Amino acid sequence: MDEYFEKRKRLVERLKKEIGLSEKVARAILEVPRHLFVPPEVRSEAYNDYPLLIGHGQTISAPHMVAIICELLDLEEGDKVLEVGAGSGYHAAVVSRIVGADGVVISVERIPELADRARKTLKALGYTNVKVVVGDGSIGYEPEAPYDKIYVTASAPRIPAKLLMQLKNGGRMVIPVGDFIQHLHVVDRDEYGQIKTRNWGAVRFVPLVGEEGFKD
C-alpha cells in the first residue's frame, strides 16, 4: 500500500465518476502499476490523467483514454486481442488483466527500442499472456490472426483493410482515424462478416506510421 497505490486508487475513483468504469476495467487499472511503464523522470506524474512522453516521439495514452478504449472493446475473458502500437506496454498490461490467463494480447510495435523496453517491463511484472513483436502494425500481425478484438493506439488515415481482414466474425475493432481532426471509430464485424462503423467522438493520438498508415 505505497504512495503509488493510493494515487492509483484515487485515479480509479475519479475515472468511475467521470466516465463510469465497469468493474472489470476499474479492477485492471487499479492492478497495473502505470508508474513502472513511464520513464523515471516523469514517474511522479504517472497517475495524472494526461499523456506522457516515453521517448522516440511517442506517448503513453492518458488513463481515461485507455479506460475508454477498453470499455468500447467490450473485452471478455479468453479473448485474443491485437494491439497496434505497444508503446511502453501499459495498455497491453491493462487489457491482459481483463482477458485473463485464458486470453492473449499480441502487441505490434514498429520501434524496436520501445518494443524491447515494453517486453522487459511486462516480463518483470509477470504479464505472461502478452507477446510484443516488432513490425508494421498498420498491416496487423497475420501469424496470430484472426482476433476477437483489435485496437489501435495511433491515428490512421483510414481504417486499414488488412486489420479488418484479421478481425473475426463477431469481433470488434477500436481505432482513431484522421490527421489534424481525429475521431475514434468502433468497428463491428457481424456473424456474417458485414461491417458496421460508428463514430465515438473526437480524440488526439500520434499518427499511425506504416504501409496502411501515414508515411514516416
Total domains present in the chain: 1
Q: Kindly list the catalytic residues.
A: 61
Residue-wise pLDDT tens digits, 68-119: 999 999 999 999 999 999 999 999 999 999 999 999 999 999 999 999 999 9
State residue 168's pLDDT score: 97
Checking if the pLDDT of 2 tops 90, the result is no
Checking if the pLDDT of 1 tops 80, the result is no
- For residues 72, 4, 129, 145, the Cα torsion angle rounded to the nearest 10 degrees is 30
- Under the banding of pLDDT at 50, 70 and 90, the label for residue 133 is very high
Looking at the domain assignment, is residue 212 inside a domain?
no
Q: Is the peptide bond before 146 cis (omega within 30 degrees of 0)?
A: yes
Looking at the domain assignment, is residue 66 inside a domain?
yes
Which CATH number do you get for residue 149? 3.40.50.150
Share of the chain above pLDDT 90, in %: 98
Looking at the domain assignment, is residue 124 inside a domain?
yes
Looking at the domain assignment, is residue 213 inside a domain?
no
Say if residues 54 and 46 touch (Cβ distance below 8 Å): no
Q: Cell 497505490 identifies what position? A: 5
Residue-wise pLDDT tens digits, 136-174: 999 999 999 999 999 999 999 999 999 999 999 999 999
What is the distance between the alpha carbons of residues 81 and 130, in angstroms, rounded to a whole number?
9
End-to-end CA distance of the chain: 43
State residue 182's pLDDT score: 97
Checking if the pLDDT of 29 tops 80, the result is yes
Checking if the pLDDT of 180 tops 60, the result is yes
Look up the domain containing 94 and give its range.
3-203
DSSP state of 35: G
- Name the strands in the sheet holding 147-152, side by side, starting at the edge strand that comes first in the sequence: 130-134, 104-109, 80-84, 147-152, 167-178, 182-189, 195-203
Checking if the pLDDT of 61 tops 60, the result is yes
Looking at the domain assignment, is residue 64 inside a domain?
yes
Looking at the domain assignment, is residue 95 inside a domain?
yes
Looking at the domain assignment, is residue 185 inside a domain?
yes
